[in-house]
Each structure stands twice: as C-alpha cells, then as structure tokens.
Structure 1
Amino acid sequence: MPVERLKDATSGQLRITALIDAGIRNVQQVLDQKSRIRSLPGVGETTGNRMVGAARTIWQTTLDEMPVRIDIKNRSRATTQLLKTMRAWDAARSIRSATADLAAADAVRPLLQSLDSKTSHVVVVPEARTVAELRTALAAVEHRGALLKGGDTAAGGDPWEDFIARPADYYAMLAELGFLADDAEKSQGDLPTEIVEAVRELKLDTTHLKASLRGYQAFGARFAIVQRKVIIGDEMGLGKTVESLAVFAHLRAKGSSHFLVVCPAAVVTNWVREVQTKSDLRAYRLHGPGRDDALKSWIRNGGVAVTTYDILGWLEGRIPERARPACLVFDEAHYIKNPGAQRTRRSTALIERSERAILLTGTPLENRIEEFRNLVGYLRPDLSISASEIAPRQFRKQVAPAYLRRNQEDVLTELPERFDVDEWMPMSNADEQHYRAAVIEGNFMAMRQAALRAGAKSEKMQRLIDIVQEAEDNERKVLVFSYFRDVLDEVASVLPGKVFGPLTGSVPAAQRQSMVDEFSQARHGAVLIAQIVAGGVGLNIQSASVVVICEPQLKPTTEWQAIGRSHRMGQLESVQVHRLLSEEGVDQRIIEILARKNQLFAEFARVSETADSAPEAFDITDAELAREIVAAERERLLTGS
C-alpha cells in the first residue's frame, strides 16, 4: 500500500515528503522503520508518532476488513503448502496430550527388544486397559510418528481433502496464529467490566483439549468456569460444543473426573464424536440398548457421559456421590423452557445439586420473555429479575452475570456470505382448490401446506425443482425443510435426482447422523429433505449451501436453527436461503406476525444483556395465531371482502 495512503487516512493533515525523500515507499515500511522516522529531517517526535499511528490504523483496518479465507476453488501452490504446514503443526501439537499412548508404547518396547530374533508371535495381556484400547494407543503413536515424518503419503494424502473435511479446525488454527482478527469487545458480549476482568484473569488449561480455540470460544469457556452456572446463547454455528469441551478439559486438568451432557436424541452421536475427536476425555453413550454397561464404565472410569432429556428419569438415583458430575451441559436448552414439564423438573434437580452447569441454546427466547427468564432462574435464582414492564436494556443488565451471546457477524469474519431470497409466487388452480378446502374445514395446518399438496401442479413445487436444478448446475447441494411430513413425502416423489430422507422425528438418532453422512459424501445436486423440527436441531450439514424452507414457520427461531445447520463455522461456500411463499393466503399473515416476534428477540435476547417486558403483550401462542388467521381467511375467501 503506497505511503500516500497516510495522507488520505488523515484527510491531508500529514505531509509525507520526508518519508518519500527517505526512501519509505509503503505503509509497511512506516511500521518497520518507526524508530527511524522520528529522527528524519523535518519530522520530529509528534509528527513521527502521528505517521506511525496512521499506519497502525490502516494496518488494523485492513486486517479487520480483509479476513483470511482459504479459497477451495483457487488451490494455489502457496495455499497448498500452507495447509501442509498447518496439518504438520497440528499433528505435532497433538502429542502433548498423547502421554498415555506413549506410555503404552514404552511399556511394550523393552519386551520387543529382548525377544529372540526367531520369535514370530507375541501375546500381550494388558492389565490396565482392554486389548482394543492398547491397539488403539499403539496405532495412534504410529500415526503421529508418520505425520511428523512428513511426506504426502505419511501425512494422509492431499491436504485439501483434510481441510475440506474439517475447515473449522483450520480456521481456529489460523486465529490462534494471529491471521484472523479477534475483536475482544465483540467476544465479550455486553458483560459488566468486573466480570470481564475476572474472566481475563483465568488461565485456561487446554492440556486435555485436542482442538484449537478461537479467541471468543476461549473467552466463552472461561466465562462459564468463572461464573459457574451460565447460559451460552451464541448464535448457531459458533462452536458452543467445543466451548463446553474446553470447560471439561480445564476442570479435568484441575482434578475433576466426571461430566454429563444432556441433549436431544438426534445429537447424541455428534456429541460422542466431538468428545472423542476434540479432547482426550472418554465418551460414554447413556442412550440405547447398551446404556447400563456404559453407565457402569463411566462411574468407574470417569469421562463424559452423553444422555438425553427423555432418559433422565432412568438416570435418577443411579449416579453415586463419587461420580457426581463436576459440570453439566444441557444442549438445546430451550427444551426445558417450560418449568412444569417432567424433563424440566428432572433437569433443574440436577442443576441444583451441581456446582457448575452450562445451558447451550442459540434461541433462548422463542415465544415469550417469561421462557427466557425461566432458563436464567434455573441457574441463578439469586438474580433479581423484575417481572414488571421494564426496558430491554435493564433486563439485559439483570441477566448479564449468567448470559453470554455472540452473533456470527461479530466474530466469524471468514464466514461466507448468506443470501436470503423470499420467493413470492401465485397459487396455481390446483393450489387454490386445496387451500379453499382447508379454509372451509377451518384446518389451519392444512392451510399452511396446501400450496405444496398438488405435486407437480404446484407453483411452489415447480420453483423448488428449478432451485434444485440450478444448484446441481452450480455444483451445490440442497437442504429442503418443511414442518409437515406429508409435504416432504410429496417433495421426495416429485424431485428428480438423488434425494435423501425424509429426516423426521421418527428416524432413530444414530440413523439421522448416518443419513447426514451419506448426504455429505454424495455428489453435487443431492437433496436432503427434513422436518424442520427434527433436522433443524443439533446436526451439522455444512456440505449443503442451498437451503429451501417450504412454508413460513410460526417461530422465527425454528427457521434460524434450520438455516444454522448449514450457515455455520466450517462452511466454505456462500449460503443461499430460499423461502417459498404464496402471494395469497396464510403465508402473508404468518410473515406479518413473525416480524413482531423477530423484533421481540432482537430487543431482549440478541444482545448479551436481555429482557423482560410485559409477557402478556408478546405471547402469541400457536393456538391463538391459528384462530386469528383462520377467521381472517374465512372472511376473505367466503365473503369476498
């Protein structure tokens, strides 16, 4: 960048002739030669400081505005070498947590060295671990040695394949190395100064963590450790799981041994995988037919037990005092927003008995502010949160000790763009017939799906086919969400090409993950169809970069979660979001009500201080919404007004 930019950046207030005369031609040279600049003829200390300050401002602005992005469509030699070097560095660092594996190898080595050269077979009976664990440890040592030795074959082939398989890990390493700007203020949300200072003072021990942490993730983990019982409400796709694992790893390094994760069944497999790949803690699946044995092993050995909200009743009374979890994590914590529900009572009983608890949710407020206040109350009943009509700012201050939220645009500078397209279209004759029949019946749910029940004769279906064809031409994959199983069946029967799903609530959790894995490995043009309440929670589907939502949802958070399955950390392509909307009928009215709910969330929960206003003023339950819309549509269609 030419040195003349200093003059531009200061509106002509700096004279740069002395710099040019001294052979300083660009902004970087100003930073490199800052000590010399102050002694140049005609400059002096004050002007020199201003020159260096202007150069620093330009440097910081450039870093902020030009985030590092690895372009998978421009695989240059330099970028390939960067990926190779990062992979080798990652492998070298992983050895710091491999002491147990190395100890296993060292225990066997003297035996092998003392054998007669004619010996062909050796039987090893490990005392402290199973045969499978010993073999895994030995294989890990061999693999790490091969990685460090170098060479494409030893290091696992094409580094681009490794990058595409785990891009979030590479970007976390880039952040750790200082190549991605980290805005400390945005990492902290809107926390009070005294809490921020206490969090900064804590040194996070990552000995048992295998993953690099972004700056905001490390801050979130330290916040949870310092404040003990918190809600981490980061927007979907920011890595709340790895923040929780960082807390577990820190506590493990300080002597704790047992940890418990409670989550929806659909994400049990994902949690087990994350524990195994991003930490050296053992993971136990307390779900399904093997849960009794897994529980015994977890109690005996320690580690991370992963169970579901529905299994908490089975778990009651089975955890002895010696295995009391040092920290609880409740994923998708809006599942326990209703204090009267059985799952909520069981969850809060666990929270009350635990020293530490983390509620993870990207949507702490779905319909009513009262629900958000419930979540805070489970953790910190000591916080005085007024129930009167107060301003959002005041509420955010009241819940700040227990609530931290960061949004994607604040902390993920490398995240590809997201393009939202509202696809308004008329109803076909067949659509109108389905819709009119639903209105006459007074069937709200039938009205919502009417515009997609005419198969190939539906305007929405025709547009969906066009979107899928365009995605295939552009080498993209597609996620299609609908609330209704019948709509998904219709979509599956009409769409051409490879269609996966439908992924619904009735599909077993392990099978859901397998379905996502198969879709991720499929060719361009593949489509995964899912019920939005099942596929929109917990699963990571970054392989898709086109998202289609077949009808507007009754809660904005439902849609946000669904889009967050694709537009999240690790996404390498820009994400297109298409909402299929009918110009006439129920869609328009739902959109109007959603606008009110969006405003509510923005005021009370989007920033990290939060809020309670008059709950009754904003509580639009689904039943009330349905009655309001059906009545209006009957009047419009049947009276002609």
Structure 2
Amino acid sequence: KRSRTLYEGLKGLEKSKKRLPKLKAKMRSYQEYGYRWLQYLYDNKMGGCLADDMGLGKTLQSIALLAKIIPKATKPILVVLPKSLLYNWQKELQKFSPEIEFTLYYGVERDFEAAMKFSLILTSYAMVRNDIEQFQKVKFDTVILDESQAIKNYNAQTTKAVLLLQAEHRFALSGTPIENSLSELFVLFKFLNPSMFYSAQDFNKHYLTPIQKEGNKEAMEELRRKIYPFILRRSKSEVAKDLPEKIEQVLYVEMGEEQAKFYEARRVFYEEAIAAQVGQHGIEKSQFFILQALSELRQIASNPEAKSEEMIHSSKREAMMESVYEAVSNNHKVLIFTNFLNALEQITTDLEKLDIGFVTMSGATSNRQVLVDKFQNDPECKVFAMTLKVGGVGLNLTAADVVYIHDPWWNKAAENQAIDRTHRIGQKNRVMAYKLISKNSIEEKILQLQEQKSEIFENLIGGDSASVKSLQEDDIAFLLGN
C-alpha cells in the first residue's frame, strides 16, 4: 500500500505548486522537478539516488533541498564527497545559497566537536573512514553522498564506514550508479533504504544471478519496478531543450600534501630569485628567467611528476580521470587539452590503466587526419588527448561533447578555441567543458589574470613569452605571491 501511495505522489510532482527555496540561480524545469523529487522522498523518509548525466546540475538540485531543510533541521546534515570536490561544493554553496552556514571537515587540524556545531558539514570519504568512531555516534538529519560510486565495493573499508552512519534521510548523487555489476546497486540501496533488500545473498539469488548470468527478463522488470521510485536519471538528450549549447565549469582541486610542500618551496625560491634578478637587470632582461619560473610552477601545480625526483602524485589528474571515466561510462566522447608534453604522457598512461580507447596528438604528430577520422568514427575510441597549441585550431571533433582543459593557458581565447573544436556546426549534443585548477597555486592567479587582462591577452597569438612580455612587475609579484 505504501509503495502505491509513493508512486501516486511521484506522478503529481510535475504539477506541484510547492514554492521553490530562494536561490541565487534560475533553476531549469528538469532541475525544479529534481528538487521536488528529492523533497518528496525527504518528506516520506525514503532515500533516493539522483543519477542525472554529468553537467545537468546535481549539486544545484541538492543545494536547493539543503536550503529548504536546513532552517527546520534540528540535527546536523553531512555531505560526503571525494576530496577533489570539496572546494567545488564550497564555491557552489557560496554562489547559490550564501546564507547557508557550513564547515569543511578535512585536514590534519580538523576538529570534530567544532564541526558538529554547524548545521551543514562537508567532508571526504577518507575522513569518514578514518574518523568513523566519532561519526557513527552522531545522529544526522540527512547524509548525502556525492559520487556515491565510491561505496560500490561492499567489502571496502570506506563502504563499511559509510554504512555505519546514522541518518533519518539519505541521498546519493552519481552519474554512474552502476559501473560494472548489479552488486553495486545492492550496496547503494543498503545505504539509501537499508530494509529494501534483505541481504546480499538474497539479492544475488533473486536478482543478480538471474539477470547477469541467466538474462532473466522477469527478474529485471521486477527489480526495475522496485527501484524505479528511488532513482531519478535524466540524460542530456532528454532535457536538451532546457540546456544552453555549451556549459563551462571550473573544477578546483586541492594539491596533495607532498605536492603542496614541493610547490611552496619552489614558489618561495623563485619569488626571491626573480626579485633579485629584476632588481639587478630590469624586467626586460629577466624575461627568460621569469618564463622558466612561471613554467615550472605551472607544471608542479598540474603535473608534479615532471619536476620531482620522488614522483610526487598529481591530485588534479586523479580527479580529472575520475570524471573522464564517468563521461566515457555514459557514452560520451572526450577531448583533453594540456600545455605540457610530459602531462600528455602521464594522461595517456592513465587512460591505458583504465582500459579506455584513445588517440593522442602533439606537435610531432604527422598523420593528424587519420587520428581525427578514427576518433570521429570508431566507437571504441573514446578520448582524444592533445596539446593545446596543436589541437586548438583547425580540427573538427564533433564526436566529442565533453572537454577538459587540464591546465590553464594565459590566453583565454586559446582555451575557447580548443573547446570550439567540438562546439561547432555538426554537433548534435550539448557540450560540457571543464577547466581544472589546482587550488592555492599559480593556476588560480592565471584564472584571475585571464579576466583582468583579457583585453591584453585576447589578441595575443604568440606563446608564453608573448604573454609574459605583456605582464607588468606587479602582475609577476601577484603570480608568485602567496
């Protein structure tokens, strides 16, 4: 009887007249529905997974729910996400609902008791796993898992920790709720609605084995009916009329501890060395040294392996690869642009490890049209990775609809040109473009200079050196400053 009532209530959501929470954003019609769906499940004490395609605003729909429930909630609300998304959530909250007070629970100096005094806490899966003894004692109003595929393995320590969290309401966000096996669906619902499936053995007997091993359509239909009210998924093509032709998003990633230390040591070195060099020889005669300094800091921020003998790991590339994997899993084709050959090599190594079909192109590549044709026409070739200067002009790559700018270029126009390899006549889908930025690094400064100096950089067609020549002493101090 309850499930019938739930179905009937869901049918009425399209015509719902319930007021939307106040946000500094105009929600699209499908996002309004997504918010109402989340709120309906919340009101009925049921969990759900918002499984929209990437780029459709799962975070915004979740923030709308938070804006609605936080004023009345008497217990804290916890959002658990990959550490690479912590700062994006922070920025989205500040942008769309600045009145929500929240804290980041993360890092070596984290204070659990202080964090729990906030109505909203953002934390990472690693923090929940490490501090589960404290977390499991708290009764949360709501727990939201972003990129919930992080708990797909039932026996993993992270999954075990997350399943110990106590909450009246539970939600998950994921563009890929099932990546490899139906067993991942069982784990997801063990979190969302724990009593829905009796046990893993029972789920395997009634659903996993009949569906995956025997192709049983009746079992598939029964499972589909059972989970239907609790998973909401819209693809880009379904909501295309509501979307702009191109969506651009900046993804901020925190450098790892070793990477941040290495970066800071080199930044301090170059800050002092350039001040001495410019003081002695003037800015004109210091161009080469300045260029060397800026180039090295940019590489450490995005691809520290290139400059470190200890092979320091790149947090940013890890975050990008997680996103690329999600895109490819959802049948998108992807372009990746970088300014550095060594970064391109690392990216192709990562793609090989993930068993993703790809082609790659740099200045030394001669058979370019062959590669373009392969990418455009071969369904197994999912990713085209290339240097910005080579791939940014003259190519028609409309098979792709997701673009990653791995590291920023001084000249924003060059990045736009790269994105427009796919956003052009012949493109049938909406294009999603991500620009990855290492937090607290020269990359953030470049982003600011792109906006401030756009009138200077916009017309630059030369390389780094041409861009550097247009920088003043105060710009260089800004780029190298803490």
TM-score by length of 2: 0.50
Bigger strand share: 2
Normalising by structure 1, we get a TM-score of 0.38
